[in-house]
Amino acid sequence: MDSAMDWHRARALLEWQVELGATDAVGDTPVNRYEVAATPKAEVAKPGVAAGPVGVPATPRVDAVAEARSAAGAADSLDALCAAMDAFPHCELKLGARQLVFSDGVPGARVMIVGESPGRDEDLQGKPFVGRAGQLLDRMVGAIGLDRGAAQVADAVYITNVIPWRPPRNRDPEAEEIAMMLPFLERHIALAQPQVLVAVGNISCQALLGRRGITRLRGGWAEAFGKPVMPMFHPAYLLRNPAAKRETWADLLEVNARLKGRT
């Protein structure tokens, strides 16, 4: 320690460093960094490569979105797409989830519901919308004569999520996570071939429409991947705000009218 530094000044400096977030000492004795010889700067990474330590060859930088697009495009069936998503190594959400949650309902159904991400119940059972919100969703689509378990395609719905793995503590998916899983969702829609998409919640609207603000978006038709999209409140929101069920019923009637060719 500098002999000119008294105890009070030394303590004040230490407390200042603790307030800045320092938690550990890096050595037993202080180091004057101004006396350390300058080290050569690492080269700036060129596009497509990640810079490493000086003298270590740079490694290619992974483009997760491009790899997702390639893997999704190679899938020629829903089973192949599910396998491709399960094998996709770049979304760290899978490390904390029990399993991939791919879909439920009847492929080829006229209505495809796109939710946000699995919750605890979905993570345990491996199917989307199986908790309280899912039970409400079943009653919602049942009100217009649709059922995820219907024997006839015309009476069925098909359900998936933007994100197939449960985020930790049920947090919202991050923009990077949505971006890397979007090619899989686009391919999922192409393979399932619905007539109408229903986007429930802000995350699904962000993925499909590039916009958020479900209170402004709901009730108006939009388009994504060549399909008409009806944004709706998420069933979990409706459980917390029952008064919003009136608007959701109006949205369901719009979907029913579209299926019957009246809009």
Determine the average pLDDT of the residues in 33-58: 48
Q: At residue 127, does pLDDT exceed 60?
A: yes
Between CA 43 and CA 179 the distance in angstroms is 29
* Domain coordinates in residue numbering, the chain: 64-259
Strand 196-200, strand 157-161: pairing: unpaired
Altogether, the residues listed in the chain come to a count of: 263
Q: Is 165 exposed, middle or buried (0-12, 13-18, 19+ CB in 10 A)?
A: buried
Domain 64-259: top CATH class:
alpha beta
Model pLDDT, residue 60: 65
Model pLDDT, residue 262: 73
Q: How many CB atoms lie within 10 A of CB 10?
A: 12
Mean of per-residue pLDDT scores for the chain? 87
Determine the average pLDDT of the residues in 166-182: 96
Radius of gyration of the chain (CA): 26
Between CA 10 and CA 8 the distance in angstroms is 5
| Chain segment 198-232, per-residue pLDDT in tens | 999 999 999 999 999 999 999 999 999 999 999 99
E strands, the chain, are: 49-50, 59-60, 104-105, 111-115, 157-161, 196-200, 222-224, 227-232
Between CA 251 and CA 247 the distance in angstroms is 6
Model pLDDT, residue 34: 52
